[in-house]
Amino acid sequence: MFLRLANEHRQFVQDLVMNLKALAVVLERHGYPASCYTCGDQMNSASFMVSLGDNHLIRFLVSDYGITWTEMRDDRELMKLEGAEAINQLEELATLVKQSLQKSRDTEYSSLTGKRLLQKSSGRAKTQA
């Protein structure tokens, strides 16, 4: 039983590390300085950091020994969470990123659609005049 739990925990940590790496890539692509460092090829630990601007930094550490979320502003610790609470906070960050990306896509689509409609209507006005 304990071996099974140990293996499940290792798999959970590896999954979490893979998701942290992906989140860092997405954040970097959208202009947020982010990084995710791992030790070795086994992906049994990671250090994830992202700067949200205005000296606002989030650090998420995961290893076989535990999981920690630390939020800092102006080099002062605002919040430190561990375990499930830390993962919940990470989920909130991921949700905010998804919402932000969706809004930017919607805005981009709306502005492109608006430009196309404007181009079509201005073209008709010229030919009708």
- Tell me: the pLDDT tens digits for 20-68? 999 999 999 988 999 999 988 888 999 999 998 889 999 999 998 899 9
Question: Has residue 121 got a pLDDT over 70?
Answer: no
Question: Has residue 106 got a pLDDT over 80?
Answer: no
pLDDT at position 57 is: 95
In angstroms, the CA 114 to CA 106 distance is 12
Q: In one letter, which amino acid is 54?
A: D
Question: Has residue 10 got a pLDDT over 60?
Answer: yes
User: Whose CA is closest to 27, among 84, 90, 109?
Assistant: 90
pLDDT at position 108 is: 56
Virtual torsion, Cα 47, 18, 21, 51, nearest 10 deg: -60
What is the domain partition of the chain in residue ranges?
Answer: 2-128
pLDDT at position 112 is: 46
Tell me what the mean pLDDT of segment 95-120 comes to. Answer: 61
Question: Has residue 72 got a pLDDT over 80?
Answer: yes
Q: Report the phi/psi class of residue 59: left, alpha or beta, with left for phi > 0 and alpha for psi in -120 to 50.
A: beta
How much of the chain, in percent, has pLDDT values that exceed 70?
Answer: 83
